[in-house]
Structure 1
Amino acid sequence: MNTLSKTTVFTQTRLAQAIRRAAMVAIPLFALTACDGDDGAQGPAGAQGPAGQDGAPGQDGTPGQDGVPGQDGSDGRDGNATVTMAAGLTRLATVPLGAEVTGMFLSPNGDLFFNAQHPDSANNVEDADGIIHNDAIVGVVTGVNINKLPRNTISSPVPLTDEEKQTVQVAYGEYQVLIKGGDQFAGAPAEGIGSVYDASGAFEVVRSDMVDFNAYVPMDENNGYLFTNWEFFPGGMSRVSLTKDSGDVKWTVNDAEMLDFGAYGTIANCFGTLSPWNTPLTSEEWGNFGDATEFWNAPDDTLDDDTASRNALATYINGVQTTAQEADTFPNTYRYHYIVEITNPMDADVTNVVPVKHYAMGRYEHENSVVMPDQRTVYLSQDNTNGVFFKFIADTAGDLSAGTLYAAKITQDAGSNEPATTGFDIEWIELASGNNAQIETWIAEYDSVGVDEYVAGKSSYLTDADAIAWANGDAAYPSFDEASADALAAGFAEDDADAFGGMITAGQPMDDRVAFLESRKAARAKGATAEWRKFEGINVNVVRAEEAETGTDVNGDGEVVSQAYVYFAIADIDRGMIDDEGDIQLADRVKDCGGVYRMPLTDGYDVARIEPVLMGATFRSSLDGAERCDVNNLSQPDNVMVMEDGRILIGEDGSQTNNTLWMYDPTAAE
């Protein structure tokens, strides 16, 4: 997720007063009594006398005061009023005020881990265990096997009370907080878990509350390690030792520690997955300048963009130096924004747990990657505006260090633009083959680039002109001094840095570095679709996928899945997806409410088709905050998890008062 652009907007319940009725006046009846002595016996009733004349009309009484105003009715988008909810959709959990749902991970035993990212620091209500949810929390649902939930599930209510709004609420089981940002452990940094130190380990650079991806790696039936991302710049990852006693539904935290990401560190560790061989795959997402790489080494006084990320990386690399412009070593942007595999995850000595950046899988704003059961085919999402959908095929099963990178060219269904019904066909365009070692030598050529090398209107890095020349099959890179005719023909202006060749490669023989260091530029130059907006998490259930591919009962439950799907979420169906240009031209009905898509797996774990599964409510641009997207339907889905029975879990990072972790049954729409 691109968390810098996410804002959680809070609403409060309205002041209510009860209406009181006016009191009715009762008239007493007085009995007549004798003056002296006892009353005598009552005589017979006399005849009724004639009716008297009507008296003069009385004066009008004083007008009564206005009644107390009645209570406001419930808001159908942010309360418990009855609102249409998609069939098969269940509100499985909600997270506290200010928080996003992150880190969904479902173990084969049905243990559901998920986090509350950056909850409101003003939250002050304690949960059942006495914990206040006012900082990053990592937790697990206890007392229930999520894989065995019935089909006729009921939803957790929309939070109304302070307790419901300020703590994690679940429809089934109980939520146990395992760790909280800043917690102290024997293996944690002095400032607590979530702290990221500089490369020397001397001092804290940042303490993140943006907790994200979880992966639980079991060591045996009751023990394992939980790996968790701490998303910021520089990024971090914790490893927590856990024990679950077979006779108890609760977990015990034994210790927690932060991983060492080496001399250059990592950035904005967002979502991820667990590989089929049980290694966590974390993703470097935001913190670069996106397509505008040419500004990465611009002097501070020429930039309108925030330089906080490159300054933080400089501090990580250099220690006490606090700005990239003044640092001895200027951060090389090409050392960041890759898929990072955590090797040796179960080694008792955390110093032997080694992160490996897989340059061969391409450089861009990774949300996450998912590896198919063949241990070679990988699908990858780019969480950005005008992003690309990528595929990677490893040369060797179980080894992601070398392979071929592809980009998707999509064709929208003819005559259709409604997001709920419009699908796309996929054509895979091969970009290049490479390996980590070769690509690292290209990356190292940019280590010497700093502010002194910056030239206004030019680029020290790879440009679109370079990508176009590469896609054309040119023998050499274009000039640094003269605008490329092909780049100008493609629509780049003469004063645009992307119309010129990059400084390092200008005039040199052509190679494939642009495919791996500027993967979006390369994909666009080859004709791939670069219009996705906030392409978020992508996921598959490996057991279902393997059964559909092989026709065998992989999990031994007596049933064989005939069709499996790769699912992904789009948080905002916006920008390039609704601009009436290019390959994607959807209507703007859903817009920032987002939606979920799926891709049927075909032979060889390939995908050739994208189908809509579940869309958010109609986006109401005339309203603000949580009211824009119906609280009883999706609002900016972030990541998805596929359950063993084919249902999916969907986490929100939208603007709802309390974001939701949904469970959805796709068969409900069949």
Structure 2
Amino acid sequence: MEHNQSRRAALKFITGAPLLPLAGVGSAATLLSACAGDGTEAAASSSAPTISSVAFTSMDAPSLAVPAEMATTTVKSTLVVSYSNGSKQSYALKYQPFFVTGDLVSDGKGGTILAGGYYDINNKPIMDNSVAGKERQFYSDSPDGSSLLTLPKPTVTGVKGNTVFAVVQFEYTTRDQSLASMYGLLPSPIAVLTLDQDPATGNLSLVKYHNVDTSSVNGLWITCGASLSPWGTHLSSEEYEPDAQFISSNTMFQAFSKNLFGDASKANPYHYGHLPEVTVNPDGTGSIKKHFCMGRISHELIQVMPDNRTVLMGDDYTNGGLFMFVADRETDLSSGTLYVAKVGAGFSIDPAAAAAPLSWIKLGSATSAEIQNLANTLKPSDILTSVKTDPADSSYTKMYLDGAAHWVKLKTGMEKAAAFLETHRYANLMGGTMSFTKMEGTTLNIKDKIAYSALQNMQSAMVKGNAANNAALGIAIDKAVVAGGVLAHKLGGGQKDTSGTAINSEWVPMQTSCLLIGEDLATADALGNTANPDKIGCPDNLKFSEKLRTLFIGEDSSTHVNNFLWAYNVDTKVLSRIMSIPAGGESTGLHAVDEVNGWTYIMSNFQHAGDWGSIHSKVQATLDPLIRANYKDRFGAAVGYLTGMPKA
């Protein structure tokens, strides 16, 4: 222990901010320090070895040999740090939750608040009355996107060390107490956590939980992945935008409206499917706004480029697209230009294949205010006509939306409204490659100028011969890969859109290729996996660490019995399993933070543990009682981060 403490002290003050692995109980894992001590400490460390590389060892997938490991967050991976003098130090990783949803946590005012709790438009708790005599407030079992950040002059009381803030959003809740589905029926909560960071260890502890008032933006709809903007705000998401053209038959949206407003007909579908942005205040509260000018798509997890203007957006949708937004001004997403990609010849999911070119179709330019005004005043029928049976009319365009055939006709003069409120339909009309299936998280490798996008699966619209596939749009793979993959997009400047107009950005995706791919199994293995458990399966969350040169990948898989969190080193090409999620759960909330007061953090949550599917038939009977005991009878899920301890 003395040796480890000495090494930490020596490395902490090396100039040039080297990577600093953690060396204290409960401290945040894998960490770098930009601290500069006094002159004596700096001089004393001038001859100390520097870090030459960092790697993760891969843990085995848990099995029924130890059922308890399949029923919780299991971490048996190791961080290995190599130094310039040839020595190495290993750090055993573990998972540290801030809370499990449903816990009563501090509200910072001397009282408590329900973690993950739901509230209506008047900020009144939404109650679960489904079982007589067991009335309680709804709370989420599906925490998702998170951000970790600091502010220069925080004012929260009760913090003993450094004040750090986290924003956490809750996508949905799976079921009520009667076990009826609640997916999409409740307005998504979003919370600001005030955390106390121990300056000596990096350990984070919860001091205050604040539920953000979302009434000014008409509540939130199915908030999924998230990212931290370069200017320190939390960029949320609203996925699976409610289809306004057929909203009268959408009973899920009507129930959402009833729970939010107390009126099944009050919610306006055009108010949802946008990009919310949360600003954290020094007192640990938060304010929110929605950007209506970034396309109304199935927003999942966006990435803002270092120019503070260019935004790459995935689209968690069947027959989805790759979208880009270029803001008019830095650090301001309230106006700009929206584009959709068109994939050129040669697209392949073979990682050894050459990249395919990308071109960009301009969909429109707008301010958030003008599109919000259109959302407030236009009816769906004012913008276009969309039908599900062939009208035998050549003025309609056939397209596939979420796997189903539609015929669409745009109303005269409604181009801008369609571009920003009916984005999927308009992108199809404009010739965008709307063939991707469930493009989820996006992230950025700044040094190599490469962006990454997760495809949870590669099927239906992507597959040659499928009714929903249009090979002329550049994608027609020979065989579906249910286990999905990760795309890499090379970025650059000097690009023009398809009309010949210059795109004002140096961070435009110019070509795309497949970086990683899952492997479907012909028959399920002994545990029930239908995809190779030693490869990625249905990637979802993606985050890249510049300092660790590592792409972190979280799974949302119906092909792995346990979903995993992976670390892929882009230099060594080594893929390492670093955490296993409770069976039936999904890895979410991924956030790799290179530096917060000298420490690096890997944030991670999970959702809906014990949400059993057909692949769990061999394990469900054994694991179900364990997961119920661990996570509030399957109603709870953890929000937390990875920590590490030095190994002898």
Question: Normalization by structure 1: what TM-score?
Answer: 0.63
Cα RMSD of the aligned pairs, angstroms, is 3.2
- How far residue 429 of structure 1 moved from its aligned partner, in angstroms, is 0.4
Residue 512 (str. 1) matches residue 416 (str. 2)? yes
Tell whether the 8 Å contact from 2:73 to 2:95 is kept in structure 1 after alignment. Answer: yes
2:69 aligns with 164
Partner letter of residue 235 of structure 2? L
Residue of 350, 354, 364 corresponding to 2:287: 354
TM-aligned CA distance change 1:108 to 1:354, over 3 Å = farther
Deviates more, 1:602-611 or 1:531-540: 602-611
Tell whether the 8 Å contact from 2:483 to 2:537 is kept in structure 1 after alignment. Answer: yes
Residue of 198, 216, 221 corresponding to 2:148: 216
TM-aligned CA distance change 1:181 to 1:520, over 3 Å = same
Residue of 530, 538, 542 corresponding to 1:640: 542
CA–CA distance in 2 between the matches of 1:626 and 1:422? 35
Partner letter of residue 564 of structure 2? T
CA–CA distance in 2 between the matches of 1:632 and 1:490? 37
Partner letter of residue 487 of structure 1? Y
> Mapping of 1:443-592 within 5 angstroms?
443-446=375-378, 460=381, 462-463=383-384, 485-487=394-396, 498-499=407-408, 509-541=413-445, 545=446, 561=447, 563-580=448-465, 581-582=470-471, 583-588=474-479, 591-592=481-482
SS in 2 for 1:608: strand
Structure ranking higher on relative contact order (CA contacts 8 Å, 6+ apart): 2
SS in 1 for 2:255: helix
Residue of 237, 248, 267 corresponding to 2:190: 237
CA–CA distance in 2 between the matches of 1:576 and 1:625? 30
- How far residue 579 of structure 1 moved from its aligned partner, in angstroms, is 3.4
CA–CA distance in 2 between the matches of 1:539 and 1:247? 30
Residue 145 (str. 1) matches residue 31 (str. 2)? yes
Residue 650 (str. 1) matches residue 553 (str. 2)? yes
- How far residue 229 of structure 1 moved from its aligned partner, in angstroms, is 1.0
TM-aligned CA distance change 1:180 to 1:530, over 3 Å = same
- How far residue 111 of structure 1 moved from its aligned partner, in angstroms, is 9.9
SS in 1 for 2:248: coil
SS in 1 for 2:293: helix
2:627 aligns with none
From the CA coordinates, give the structure whose radius of gyration is larger. 1
> Mapping of 1:386-405 within 5 angstroms?
386-405=319-338
Tell whether the 8 Å contact from 1:225 to 1:241 is kept in structure 2 after alignment. Answer: yes
Partner letter of residue 297 of structure 1? S
2:587 aligns with none
Tell whether the 8 Å contact from 1:211 to 1:231 is kept in structure 2 after alignment. Answer: yes
Residue 606 (str. 1) matches residue 526 (str. 2)? no
CA–CA distance in 2 between the matches of 1:363 and 1:317? 22
Residue of 161, 165, 172 corresponding to 1:225: 165
Tell whether the 8 Å contact from 2:351 to 2:516 is kept in structure 1 after alignment. Answer: no
CA–CA distance in 2 between the matches of 1:654 and 1:497? 29
Residue 617 (str. 1) matches residue 519 (str. 2)? yes
Residue 433 (str. 1) matches residue 365 (str. 2)? yes
Residue 282 (str. 1) matches residue 236 (str. 2)? yes
CA–CA distance in 2 between the matches of 1:314 and 1:498? 31
Q: How many residues end up aligned between the 2 structures?
A: 462
CA–CA distance in 2 between the matches of 1:111 and 1:210? 30
- How far residue 523 of structure 1 moved from its aligned partner, in angstroms, is 0.8
SS in 2 for 1:576: helix
Tell whether the 8 Å contact from 2:397 to 2:407 is kept in structure 1 after alignment. Answer: no
> Mapping of 1:256-295 within 5 angstroms?
256-263=209-216, 264-286=218-240, 288-289=242-243, 293-295=244-246
- How far residue 665 of structure 1 moved from its aligned partner, in angstroms, is 1.6
- How far residue 394 of structure 1 moved from its aligned partner, in angstroms, is 0.5
Report % sequence identity: 26
Tell whether the 8 Å contact from 1:568 to 1:639 is kept in structure 2 after alignment. Answer: no
Question: Normalization by structure 2: what TM-score?
Answer: 0.65
SS in 1 for 2:56: coil
Q: Give the strand-richer structure, 1 or 2.
A: 2
Deviates more, 1:424-433 or 1:217-226: 217-226
Which blocks of at least 5 consecutive residues in structure 1 are unaligned? 1-106, 113-128, 130-139, 299-304, 450-458, 467-481, 546-560
Which blocks of at least 5 consecutive residues in structure 2 are unaligned? 1-16, 34-50, 78-91, 128-137, 153-160, 173-185, 494-505, 575-648
CA–CA distance in 1 between the matches of 2:565 and 2:204? 21
Tell whether the 8 Å contact from 1:372 to 1:605 is kept in structure 2 after alignment. Answer: yes
Instruction: Encode CA deviations 1:263-284: one digit per residue, 9 max, x unaligned.
Output: 5201111001111100000000
Partner letter of residue 484 of structure 2? G
Deviates more, 1:386-395 or 1:153-162: 153-162
TM-aligned CA distance change 1:624 to 1:421, over 3 Å = farther
Tell whether the 8 Å contact from 1:593 to 1:629 is kept in structure 2 after alignment. Answer: yes
Deviates more, 1:608-617 or 1:180-189: 180-189
